[in-house]
Amino acid sequence: MILFSLLPVLWAVSVEANFFQFESISNVSTYYFNYFYCNIWEGECQPNQDDATQQVPTGDLWSGFPQDYIGMLTTWYCSLGQCCDSGDCRITNNITGLELDLQQKLHGQHLAQAVVLKAIQGFIDNPESNKPLTLSFHGWSGTGKNFVARIVADNLYRDGVKSECVRLFIAPFHFPHVRLVDVYKGQLREAIRDMVLRCPQTLFIFDEAEKLHPGLIDAIKPYMDHYDNVDGVSYRRAIFLFLSNIGGAAINEVALDFWHSGQNREDIGMEDLEHRLRAEAMEAEGGFAQSELMSGHLIDFFVPFLPLEYRHVKLCARDAYAARGLQASEATLDEVAKAMLYVPKEEKLFSAQGCKSIPQRINFFLP
């Protein structure tokens, strides 16, 4: 029946062909054939079938097409669940959800909550930004850097980190050999270009960024700079996240100083950390600090992640149990938290592993 319902549309295309250039008709036909084949006949589809080049054709293309047939085609297409207000169903840009997730799921990181929300919201609300958004997350392992990257992906994209608009690079995994850095440069440039062509608002996440070769970062510096386009492609709607342990010592020192002086950690402000964080990032060993990304001042926000205390570890344990549909008692949460290693040796104030190992550790406390 669906095939028969499309016959008037196909007939209209042939009748009104003189209103279009041949290439435009070919693009429209290709799109709907691909969609029909993949979703109605359930044929063997190619990856990324729903990429940006496969979005519903709009604009001047339909200027000469009879309005009744446009309405018929639109109604049929939307009945298959492929319409959305944003124009790209892969992108949700749920700022309200982002704010709630940062408030409710991220523990002990008031600075990261505020800075990330401000940066993402400002970028999304400004479609005329003159450069991509570049954020640099800093802090000890287990303090929430990867977790926040996932929260960002989950709220900006329909499919979260699995979205074809999100790409994760792990430095020692994707670029392990220094001797192959020139090969990696070409591969990385090509990957970024292809991703942005398919999805202009692509999220790129570089984990363990301190282990990236400086030449590798410099190779992609133009994509994060103030350019209208690079080789005909605009990267101004892309988002780059760099995650590293650089600056962790400086952040911990500030947090410890506040504790020694009897001040609340929630009173720590960006003015207490940003200058020290920038300085340590510039002086640190490794490619990230030595790259033009730092010297060119292309990082829009340095985001500090504070060391986590006992009370924060308990909250992480509570969330880990809840994720399994379990409700743990206060006594059980205390047992989990006490099993963690805390530093400095004298005060035993900060969890040395943050919350990173909590999901695995609670296995030892399950009945």
Query: Which pTM value belongs to this model?
Result: 0.78
Residue 9 lies in a domain: no
Residues 283 and 157 grouped into a single domain: yes
Residue 11 lies in a domain: no
Report H helices in 163-296. 171-174, 181-198, 214-220, 248-260, 270-283, 287-290, 292-295
Residues 320 and 207 grouped into a single domain: no
Domain holding 135: CATH number? 3.40.50.300
Q: Which of residues 162 and 20 earns the better pLDDT score? A: 162
Residue 85 lies in a domain: no
Residues 163 and 288 grouped into a single domain: yes
Residues 248 and 359 grouped into a single domain: no
**The dihedral sign for the CA sequence 251, 256, 258, 263:** positive
Q: How far apart are CA 204 and CA 207, in angstroms?
A: 10
Residues 319 and 247 grouped into a single domain: no
Residue 153 lies in a domain: yes
Whether 252 and 140 have beta carbons less than 8 Å apart is answered as: yes
- Locate the DSSP E strands across the chain: 133-138, 166-170, 203-207, 239-244, 301-304, 342-343, 350-351
Residue 284 lies in a domain: yes
Angle (nearest 5°) at CA 138 between 248 and 175: 105
Number of CB atoms found within 10 A of residue 29's CB: 12
Share of the chain above pLDDT 90, in %: 62
Residues 288 and 317 grouped into a single domain: no
Is the bond preceding residue 344 a cis peptide, omega within 30 degrees? yes
Whether 134 and 224 have beta carbons less than 8 Å apart is answered as: yes
For the chain, the distance separating the N- and C-terminal CA atoms, rounded to the nearest angstrom, is 56
Backbone angles phi, psi at 366, to 5 degrees: -80, 145
Q: Tell me: the pLDDT tens digits for 315-350?
A: 999 999 999 999 999 999 999 999 999 999 888 899
Q: How far apart are CA 273 and CA 283, in angstroms?
A: 15
* pLDDT of 40 above 70: no
Q: Tell me: the pLDDT tens digits for 111-150?
A: 999 999 999 999 999 999 999 999 999 999 999 999 999 9
* pLDDT of 224 above 60: yes
Residues 105 and 231 grouped into a single domain: yes
Q: 305, 329, 344 — which closes off a domain?
A: 305
pLDDT value of position 285? 73
Q: Which of 51-65, 196-210, 349-363 has the lowest mean pLDDT?
A: 51-65
Residue 42 lies in a domain: no
Q: 258, 282, 305 — which closes off a domain?
A: 305
pLDDT value of position 184? 96
Residues 272 and 332 grouped into a single domain: no
Q: 305, 335, 350 — which closes off a domain?
A: 305
pLDDT value of position 74? 55
Residues 277 and 320 grouped into a single domain: no
Residues 118 and 202 grouped into a single domain: yes
From 264, 354, 246, select the one nearest 309 (Cα to Cα): 354
Residues 287 and 344 grouped into a single domain: no
Q: How far apart are CA 192 and CA 223, in angstroms?
A: 9
Residues 113 and 169 grouped into a single domain: yes
Share of the chain above pLDDT 70, in %: 75
Q: How far apart are CA 338 and CA 309, in angstroms?
A: 11
Count of domains for the chain: 2
pLDDT value of position 48? 45
Q: Tell me: the pLDDT tens digits for 305-323?
A: 999 999 999 999 999 999 9
pLDDT value of position 364? 87
Residue 12 lies in a domain: no
Tokens found for residue 233: 């492609």
Which residue bears the tokens 């003015």?
271
Q: Tell me: the pLDDT tens digits for 194-222?
A: 999 999 999 999 999 999 998 999 999 99
* pLDDT of 151 above 50: yes
pLDDT value of position 88? 84
Q: How far apart are CA 266 and CA 67, in angstroms?
A: 59
Residue 49 lies in a domain: no
Q: Containing domain of residue 351, as a range?
A: 310-364
- What is the mean predicted confidence (pLDDT) over 251-271? 95
Whether 36 and 82 have beta carbons less than 8 Å apart is answered as: no
Q: Tell me: the pLDDT tens digits for 237-250?
A: 999 999 999 999 99
pLDDT value of position 348? 87
pLDDT value of position 77? 55
Distances (CA, A) of 280 to 97, 161, 224, 302, 352: 33, 30, 22, 12, 20
Q: Tell me: the pLDDT tens digits for 61-96?
A: 444 556 566 556 655 655 555 566 656 899 999 999
Q: How far apart are CA 363 and CA 366, in angstroms?
A: 5
Whether 147 and 109 have beta carbons less than 8 Å apart is answered as: no
Q: Average per-residue pLDDT in the chain?
A: 82
Distances (CA, A) of 45 to 27, 39, 159, 166: 17, 9, 19, 21
- What is the mean predicted confidence (pLDDT) over 276-283? 84
